[in-house]
Structure formats: structure tokens, C-alpha cells
Structure 1
């Protein structure tokens, strides 16, 4: 008993002595514990405070068309002309809006004085510049019902409207009458927007297969695949095209570049990493469509990564630890994006460092125990010298690209469900209820 007490006493003294020792603080830069495991080239240290940095934007251009998503330089209007105070001038129904099972995923396109839209139930509508319906075309297969599939996208080129649908098809329509010229089955959901380029139509189906299809006949020119992945979000990324290359993003987080005409793969890159402490961060889907600007490809994932890569080699130039919920917009030596945290950010295009970030509508309802539903924010788009974001909270917001300050807010009845597009000094956006709104 005495021996035990003695041992305990000595142990207690040793513990007190250990506690009294002064902790040695190691000198040096602190690095994140997981940095070594996440791969990629880290950007310059993140800036916690927003900065106001001058930016030289491209001059405003009065464009008459908006035919594609913004990834392909040939179709991107760098700074579309738009008035300083756009107001609602007309609205027109396009069909079924968002529901629990179905969603509108196609941004409107504008060509030859018509606005083309795709509703949540695979119906294409052509609307005039004054809001009158010109024609509609239901692309639901004969043996299916409209609510059995959802998603799709639009593009215009070569005198045709190209439409993908959740029913797994790519369809070419006559832009004047809406008549079907041809249809190609994709053997999987076609929820992403196609891209037309010099006689070929490029599309991603099922989040793991790339297609090049002849625009005049619908015949398959070539295919390319990635690893299948089931944890995806609705809407595959739209391919980006240059004269030489086609760049695709997939559901498993891979980006591939191929020679545009023959389909031979040039390089592939995986957007490794995920946003920790967030269950949705495990979804690896490419949600920031590939965007080409000069010799650089910008792309983002749902898992908390935005990267810049060399167009010719796929070499990683920088990595930013934020995801992208839509295509990034490069302009004036900067890159603008909506992150997976529902934040509008401006990054330095050279190294990915943050210049400023602005919080966008996020949780619809938030408590310490539960926060499930979030607002959707679409864009960004550079037009009229401002960065524009449309949200389904019923607002469209205009930001100063210099410092991120909010300069204007415009009401969108029922909230937006697509990114805004601008043509003919008019801004078009589709609402959650299936209404096309025109602001001028």
C-alpha cells in the first residue's frame, strides 16, 4: 500500500513537472495538414479581405446573337452592350417550369431575331423579339411521357437549332419552322448543352461519353469515353472548341482534350481534391464548363476546385480551392465565377489568387440543426460593363467588377432558373415557372 502510494506520488510529481515545462513554439510557415494530400499547385495565399483593383474590360459590343454557352471563344461576347438600367419589357410562356422531378437546365439562345428555349419537359419554343410564339416542338419520344426525363441544352449553328434532351437524343431542328431534320440517339441522358463548330456538333452524354456528330446528317464522326460515375448533378458540361481542339468535362472530375476533327485524345487531367466538412464536396462532377481564353483552359468542379490549364499540354497552371457552379468568365486579366459556396468571386487569371468575394443568396432556411434547401445562382455574365448573376430568390444582381460592390438589383418574377443571356441590348432569362423575360 505504501509502495503504491509512493509510486503514485512520484508519477504525480512527474506530471506536474511536465506541465510546468514551457512549450516550444516552432518557427516557420504553417501549412494546412491536408495540403500534401490534395495535389495540384496551390495558388498564392488566399486574401481574406476584399480588394478594389482596377480592371480594363473589353469595350462593349452590340451583339445580335447568343448561340452557345460561353466556353468557346468564337461564340463568347466578351462584354455585350446593355443599358445602365434594364427594365422588364415583355414576358412569354415557354412551357413547363421547375417541379420536384423536372428542371429547366437550358439557357436560352438567340439567333436570327428569335429566342429559343427548352422547358422542363423537352419542349422547344421559338419566340420573336417582341414576345410572340413562333412555333413549338415536343421532343418526347412516342413511348414516353414528358415527365419521365428532364434536362437538356441548346445551340445554334450551320442554319440549325441543336437540342439535347434527358431522353438521350441530339436533335437538329429547322430554326424557322421547328421541323425535325434528324435525330441521333446518345444511349444515355443528354442533359448538357451541345456545341456546334465548323460542321460538327459536340456533346457529352451520360457524364462519361463525348460525341462528335456531323451537323448536316446526324452521323457519328467519333466518340471518346471517361470512367463512369453515378454521383452527378443534373446537366453535363458543354464542350469548348477551338480550331484545333475539343475539350470535354466529365462526371468523374476528368477533363479531356482531343483533336477536334479526328477525336484522338491529346491529354487528360483529373480535378483531384474535395471540400472538407461538406457532404456535397464528395461529388466530383465538372460543373464549371471548360472555358478557353487564349492558351488557357479554365474549368471547375462541384468538389471545391477551380483550375487553369495549358491548352496544348493540359499542364496545371494554378488551382483555387473553390468549386464552380457554372462556367467561369475570363475578362481583363481576371476570372469571375460563382463558387460551390454560393459566392461570386474575382480571381487573378495569372495565379488564381482571390481579389474579392461577395456572398450570394445561400440557404433558404437555416437553423443549427437543419439547413437543406439552398438558392440557385446562375451566371456570371459580363454585360454592360457589369457582372450579372440571376438567382431563384426573385432577384437579378449587378456587380461592379472592380470591387464586387452591388450596383443594381432587378426583380425577376418567380425567380430565375437559367443564366442571363444578352443580345440586341436586351437581357433574357427564364423563370422557375417557365416564363421567358426580356429586360431592356
Structure 2
């Protein structure tokens, strides 16, 4: 093949034949266009040839031993469950379950519950889950009634035998039932509080369902309220904390966190004891205040995402604060659960796990369900995992179509075992020592709430809008 320099002079110096029709100038233009096109094609061909030659060169392999910079991959990723002995507090009969996780601190030690559970009743509570509306409230229980909130903001009182007592909608008169959903419940004495996606807190007479007062929050109030003494504490989804007079609904004080840019339906509520009110905000901020005056005591931010696989990058607090002695446990959805000193907010440890609900501390361990659908037992001293059990993952069977995760609610410790209610239609019971599955209970339609226990009876709300009781 002739080289490029030999071809080009021949083309550029060739004599052009005049075109008698178009004239000599037009003929020269045609020739120049042909030459230009040939030059371009030849240059492209040379570039491709050079690239192919370069690709054909052999790689230079350096001598010496090859070492993985991360060490043994199996050593890095392997995790072995440990059946570590545990000393649980003695089970005791509780006659009520007044808040999420049982109390204003979001902690009950160990309720009594029998081992061979059978269905007692299934009571209709109103609207179940739909494409637009969801049940987000856990039931609350007194000696006289079980209170529930359906997907269309209807509060229903059911007797311990399963008979309906009363029902009342808490939707504002000017709003449509399909405009919002979500909310939570708390009860004390004869006052039942309901928060709603319509941005209100409504106080009802627990015996009759009559309205006592309502307070506008100017933002959705879908996290569960907390009652301590003569005050009701609420976290709105715009990053504000409210303390309301329990008798009148008047505002005692408010605290503001950083306004959120994203969050999810439901949300975490305040945990309160006699000295501290702990507020979780959608941005991941956790604030401690004096319960009566609202003076800020400390604040911290729970940030960070799970390394590797994660269900979400939303920093919203999903694991409600749990007060256990001089500690507070709280977790976000994207991959952090922390133990804090309640006195000053100091970090004791951080676990790289996302939380979908409040943890359950007991016997020197912390039990939780993470964002990947695993039931975990953590060491309360340092937050390291002792065992982990995989729960059902996706509703879709085909891997390429998997996008809808099963929801898992809990765990709670009752009758010497951990109980998790799931949207796949089962309540599962696990051995807290090893994580071994020890029993299941079927629930029609799947679970839509955390399980609760009172008077030796297990209650859970189904996605169909039913209150199910087992004893």
C-alpha cells in the first residue's frame, strides 16, 4: 500500500478537465470536494489502524506475589450467629398499653403472654390499606377498651371481648377523607389523643368518643403523640415539637428543629420521662428538652448511611427514641442506630443498621428490625451484632420485578419470646437467645401495625382494617 504522502500529491496535482456546461471554476470546486473527502476518510482509516495496533500490544505483567488490599474477602464479610445466654427480666402482667412500645418512654420490660396462642376475635375497625391511604397507628389498650385508627382517620373503641363500643371520625369538617391518612394514638385516664395527616391533634373522651378539643399543628401530625403528666407532646412533620395542655389543648411551648427536605408517612414520636422530653425530627436531629418549660438541654444529629446495600438514603428518624435508664436508643432509616447518654446526648456507640421502628432493650441486649428486613440482637455494651435472622424480603417472586418489600413490625418481647408481625400474613415468634423461629400465627391480609400485649392478650391490626386478638 502506498503511504499517505504519496497519495495526496497525486490527487492534488491532477489536471482538471473543464466542464463545458458548468465552466472551469465549477469543475475545480468539484475536484476539491472529492480530494477533501478522500483526505478525511484516509485519516479516519489511519486512526483506526493505529488504535488496533495499540490494542494488540501485550500487557506487561510485573513479577511478584499478588495480595488483596482488603484481605481475605470471606473473612471480611462472614458473620456467624451466636447463641449467647441471656438473662431476661421476669415477665409481669400489664393491664394497659398506652403508647407506642407500651409507655411514654417507649419501653415496657417484659409482658406476660401464654405460649399456645389461639385467635380470640377479629373486629372491624373501618378502612384498611389502599393505594393512597395507609394505617400507621398502633393500637393502644386500657382495661376497658382497645383503641384503633383506620386508614381514613376513624377512631374505633373495641371491648376486650371484641364488641364495638363507639366510632368517631377525626377528619376536619372541611376536608375529604381521601386527602390524607396516617396518625397515631395515646391514652391516659379518660383522655384519648389522636394525631392525623390533616395536621391536627384531637382529644376524645375515652369512654364515649366525644370530642374534648383539637389543636392545629400547621403540618401533618402523623407520628404518635406522647402523654406525660398534664402535657401532651407531638412532633409535626415540618420539624417542630409541641407541648400541649392535656385538659384544654392550649400550647404550652414549642421547639423547632431544622426544616426537613424529605420524610415518609408515619414518623417517630417523642419519648418522655420525668426529667427529659426526647424529640426526633425528620432531618435526623434528636433534641432533649425539659418537659415542663421546653428549655433545650442538648441536641445531636443521627446521620450516615449503611455501607453497601441499603433500602433508602432518607435520614428521617424511623426508630422512635426509647428511654432505658440513663440511655436513649434512636435510629434513622438509612443506616444508623445509636445509644446516647440521656444526660448530655453523648454517643455511647453507633451501629451501622437502619431502623424501621423502636428498638427493644432487654437483658443486656437490644433487639430490632432493620431496613433490610432482618431481625437483630445487638450487644447493649457496644452495639455489635450477636445474631441476625432474615425475614421475608419482597412481595414479588421474580428477582427482576422485586420492588415492594414486606413490612415487618416489632419486635416486642412478651412471654419469653420476640414477636414480629409482618405484612406477608404471619406473626412470627423467635427465641431471644439464638434467634430461632419457635412459632407462627396466621393473620388475614397481613399486619399493618406493631403487635401489642395487654392482659395476656396479643393484639395486631391487619391491612384489611381488622383488630385481631390472640390469647
- 1:25–1:31 distance in 2 versus 1, CA, 3 Å: closer
Question: Offset of 1:273 from its aligned partner?
Answer: 1.1
* Cα separation, 2, equivalents of 1:195 and 1:170: 11
* Cα separation, 2, equivalents of 1:46 and 1:22: 27
Question: Offset of 1:259 from its aligned partner?
Answer: 1.2
Select 2:64's aligned residue among 5, 22, 32: 22
1:214-272 CA-to-partner distances (Å, cap 9, x unmatched) read 10110111111112223211112010011111001111111111111111111111112
1:103 lines up with 2:134 in the alignment:
yes
Question: Offset of 1:284 from its aligned partner?
Answer: 0.8
What is residue 45 of structure 2 aligned with on the other side?
none
* Cα separation, 2, equivalents of 1:382 and 1:301: 22
1:249 lines up with 2:280 in the alignment:
yes
* Cα separation, 2, equivalents of 1:31 and 1:96: 53
* Cα separation, 2, equivalents of 1:364 and 1:59: 38
The 5 A counterparts of 1:262-301 are 262-276=293-307, 280-301=311-332
Select 2:402's aligned residue among 368, 371, 382: 371
Question: Offset of 1:24 from its aligned partner?
Answer: 6.9
* Cα separation, 2, equivalents of 1:225 and 1:73: 21
- 1:195–1:73 distance in 2 versus 1, CA, 3 Å: closer
Question: Offset of 1:326 from its aligned partner?
Answer: 0.5
* Cα separation, 2, equivalents of 1:129 and 1:191: 26
- SS of residue paired to 1:70: helix
What is residue 220 of structure 2 aligned with on the other side?
189
* Cα separation, 2, equivalents of 1:71 and 1:132: 23
- SS of residue paired to 2:401: coil
Question: Offset of 1:145 from its aligned partner?
Answer: 1.3
What is residue 187 of structure 2 aligned with on the other side?
156
What is residue 39 of structure 1 aligned with on the other side?
none
* Cα separation, 2, equivalents of 1:368 and 1:46: 23
* Cα separation, 2, equivalents of 1:423 and 1:158: 16
* Cα separation, 2, equivalents of 1:327 and 1:93: 27
Question: Offset of 1:31 from its aligned partner?
Answer: 12
Extract structure 1 runs of 4+ deviating beyond 6 A. 29-32
What is residue 40 of structure 1 aligned with on the other side?
none
Length, aligned pairs only: 418
Question: Offset of 1:276 from its aligned partner?
Answer: 4.5
Structure 1, gaps ≥5 residues long: 2-7, 33-44
TM-score by length of 1: 0.90
- SS of residue paired to 1:89: strand
Q: Name which one, 1 or 2, has greater alpha-carbon Rg.
A: 2
What is residue 432 of structure 1 aligned with on the other side?
463
Superposition RMSD in Å: 2.4
1:342 lines up with 2:373 in the alignment:
yes
- 1:409–1:114 distance in 2 versus 1, CA, 3 Å: same
* Cα separation, 1, equivalents of 2:426 and 2:229: 37
1:124 lines up with 2:166 in the alignment:
no
Question: Offset of 1:138 from its aligned partner?
Answer: 0.5
8 Å CA contact 2:311–2:371 kept in 1: the answer is: no
TM-score by length of 2: 0.84
The 5 A counterparts of 1:297-376 are 297-376=328-407
Question: Offset of 1:367 from its aligned partner?
Answer: 3.7
- 1:31–1:167 distance in 2 versus 1, CA, 3 Å: farther
8 Å CA contact 1:152–1:165 kept in 2: the answer is: yes
* Cα separation, 1, equivalents of 2:342 and 2:311: 29
Structure 2, gaps ≥5 residues long: 4-52
8 Å CA contact 1:164–1:193 kept in 2: the answer is: yes
Question: Offset of 1:274 from its aligned partner?
Answer: 1.1
Question: Offset of 1:23 from its aligned partner?
Answer: 4.6
